[in-house]
Amino acid sequence: MDFRLDGKVAVVTGAGSGIGRAIASKFAAHGASLRLLDINRKEAEAACQQISEAGGSATFQACDVTEQKEVNSKFEELFQREQIHILVNNAGVSHIGSVESTTEADFDRIFRVNVKGVYNCMHSCVGHMKSRGGGVILNMASIAGSAGLADRFAYSMSKGAVIAMTYSVAKDYLSHNIRCNCISPARVHTPFVDGFLKKNYPGKEQEMFDKLSKAQPIGRMAEPEEVASLALFLCSDESSFITGADYLLDGGYFNLRG
């Protein structure tokens, strides 16, 4: 019966696929009512259907997290109907490139989604949580935000900002009973990884998959469900003493590399 979220309403952004979908499914299986926000209507509706078929509760709203007016409008609709107890800022995009190969358009896109998108959702939600006695915010960061990863200049910038925003919000809203943490995974086996390998290494997908997997000392990538399990703990009452933390989920990347 541990890690239950009964009676809680959780908003998960980028919930249509990958880590976000796994988190939404995990939360629903543990009693939460889910509110999925995603720019991809087809994938998010499929996630809602999957949750409903498994006996859970979920609704979907199309939302571009980079647009503050749109984010404010979507959250206001939710606030008028119910209390939001949990916000999971998962929506994000990736990018490969050094500072030289990263164009201004690349940089701006990564910043708008990965940094401004997280800011927009917290900006919209934190006042509501204050007025309702508290809440939990969980941001999806990455080991790229605190480790030197090759060819991840813009992505690393964005995830470093997520970690810093997490610390700041945790500090500023501690007295309002709002906890804020983030998870920093190493590589996670999501549809993005498969698509990237198919596009960039045709015919060598398995070879490159094995190479990327072995970058983690544990010898494999994480699965989305493993990230979801940590997210469940950090958003449950069992973690009520934890705030302002960046949780590594890295298969030993930081401490066990040769």
Which residue in 193, 184, 223 sits closest to 22, CA to CA? 223
**In the sheet that 135-140 helps form, which strands lie side by side, from edge to edge?**
57-62, 33-38, 9-13, 86-89, 135-140, 178-185, 246-249
Phi, psi of 99, deg, nearest 5: -60, -30
- pLDDT score for 152: 94
Residue 81 has pLDDT above 80, yes or no: yes
Active site residue 167: no
Poorest-confidence range of 107-121, 177-191, 193-207?
A: 193-207
| Superfamily covering domain 9-186+223-247 | NAD(P)-binding Rossmann-like Domain (3.40.50.720)
Using the CB atoms, write b or e for 112-127: b if 16+ within 10 Å. bbbbbbbbbbbebbbe
- Catalytic annotation, pick one of 119, 155, 201, 253: 155
Give the integer Cα–Cα distance in Å for 79 and 128: 7
pLDDT, tens digit, for every residue of 1-15?
689 999 999 999 999
- pLDDT score for 258: 63
Give the integer Cα–Cα distance in Å for 121 and 238: 25
pLDDT, tens digit, for every residue of 109-120?
999 999 999 999
Give the integer Cα–Cα distance in Å for 133 and 130: 5
pLDDT, tens digit, for every residue of 147-171?
988 999 999 999 999 999 999 999 9
Percent share of the chain, pLDDT over 70? 99
Which residue in 89, 93, 95, 90 sits closest to 19, CA to CA? 90
Query: What is the chain's alpha carbon radius of gyration, rounded to the nearest angstrom?
Result: 18
3 state SS of 152: strand
> If 0-12 CB within 10 Å is exposed, 13-18 middle and 19+ buried, where does residue 53 land?
exposed
Number of neighbours of residue 147 by Cβ within 10 angstroms: 18
> How high is the mean pLDDT of the chain?
96
- 253 Cβ partners below 8 Å, 6+ apart? 143, 147, 186, 215, 216, 217
Phi, psi of 215, deg, nearest 5: -65, -25
Residue pair 20/38 in contact (Cβ under 8 Å)? The answer is yes
- pLDDT score for 192: 84
> For 82-98, what is the mean pLDDT?
96
> For 221-238, what is the mean pLDDT?
98
Q: Degrees (nearest 5) of the Cα angle 3, 229, 24?
A: 90
